[in-house]
Amino acid sequence: MQLDLTQASGFAGEIAASSTLSELNEVKVKYLGKKGLISLLNKQLPSLAPEERPAAGEKIQGLRNGFEALFQERLEKIGREAREKAILSEYIDISMPGFPFVNGSLHPVNRVYDEIVDIFTIAGYEVKSGPEVEDDYHNFEALNIPKTHPARDMQDTFYIHGDIVLRTHTSPVQIRTMESQKPPIKIISPGKVYRCDYDVTHSPMFHQVEGIVVDKGVTFGDMKGALRLFISRMFGDDLDVRLRPSFFPFTEPSAEVDMGCVQCRGKGCRMCKGTGWLEIGGCGMVDPEVFRFVGTDPDVYSGFAFGMGIERIALLKYGIDDIRLFYENSLKFLKQF
């Protein structure tokens, strides 16, 4: 009886032919596994003549060592190749130009909003805010606009329920401030306001900035000075300011604020319809009735108030002719700022 080694000659070829770990493992099982060739050969040992067994055993061990060495060598090579492939596939050419980041920018209304706040804070005004969902009392009543007053028609109000409304102006913030704070008061109240109105110059939601100054001896002249200061900082100091008599229930006397046209600088053009003036807001001396609502003595204190639309200021500043562009979020439009 002799060991049958014919099958052993296939190992080297099969190992060399396996190119993946699983192929390599199959070969390993076939030759070195529990039912593999080496096991089979070991099982033949008892059937050999006793004097042949040591040499045969040595031969089998030699084969096993040879198999294992070849297997190990191939295993390492496959591992190395896989790593190299991974490195090549993940290769990043750091000398290539990158993808540029697209930076967002502030919305034009926010820019103008911030600019307005800056101008007034530098001039010593405090910034106050209040609820956008207001009660009738603060939005109308305390501003001397009783339920039956025709002036309620000036502001197309969104009613939520009962006496609760979306504020139609930021004047309620002035009432709330005067309720909780004694004069001197010098504040602006910028924020969102709501009116049921929609066309090229009106949006159901827009931003207002209102201001109020209350102290002893505050005059109409102080008001014009404050407005002039704001307009010159915002649009340039060559623009004049003009006050036209008007009516608001909460101010007496009241005026519309006009400023020199931003386009023709007062000479007269299409934008200002040849007048040289553009309307920019309303203003007036705080009505004594309003003072009585908040418990301020109108015989001791006086004050002025003003209100402007922030979108209107942005339209004029950037020469835009449709307020709706501000809310469409078209990148073509927004990228210009």
Q: Which residues bind ligand PHE (CB under 6 A)?
A: 169, 171, 210, 248, 251, 282-284, 305-307
DSSP string spanning 105-133?
---HHHHHHHHHHHHHHHTTPEE----SE
Query: Minimum Å distance from CB 309 to ligand PHE?
Result: 8
Query: Minimum Å distance from CB 134 to ligand PHE?
Result: 13
Query: Minimum Å distance from CB 281 to ligand PHE?
Result: 7
Q: In angstroms, how far is CA 184 from the centroid of its own chain?
A: 37
Query: Minimum Å distance from CB 297 to ligand PHE?
Result: 21
- For the record, the structure tokens of 197 come out as 């109105």
Nearer to ligand PHE, 221 or 319 (CB): 221
Strand partners, 134: 165
Query: Minimum Å distance from CB 330 to ligand PHE?
Result: 28
Residues near 56 by beta carbon (within 8 Å), at least 6 away in sequence: 3, 44, 45, 48
Query: Minimum Å distance from CB 247 to ligand PHE?
Result: 10
The Cα 297–Cα 285 span in angstroms is: 14
Query: Minimum Å distance from CB 102 to ligand PHE?
Result: 38
Amino acid at 200: V
Neighbours of 124 (CB within 10 A): 8
Nearer to ligand PHE, 136 or 210 (CB): 210
Nearer to ligand PHE, 277 or 306 (CB): 306
The Cα 57–Cα 271 span in angstroms is: 109
The Cα 64–Cα 61 span in angstroms is: 5
Nearer to ligand PHE, 171 or 177 (CB): 171
Biggest alpha carbon–alpha carbon distance for the chain? 134
Nearer to ligand PHE, 63 or 166 (CB): 166
The Cα 334–Cα 40 span in angstroms is: 80
Amino acid at 57: G
The Cα 300–Cα 277 span in angstroms is: 36
Residues near 42 by beta carbon (within 8 Å), at least 6 away in sequence: 60
Query: Minimum Å distance from CB 203 to ligand PHE?
Result: 14
The Cα 286–Cα 290 span in angstroms is: 7
Amino acid at 107: H
Nearer to ligand PHE, 42 or 181 (CB): 181
The Cα 279–Cα 258 span in angstroms is: 4
Q: Determine the residue with CB nearest ligand PHE.
A: 307
Query: Minimum Å distance from CB 99 to ligand PHE?
Result: 47
Cis ω on the peptide bond leading into residue 97 (within 30° of 0)? no
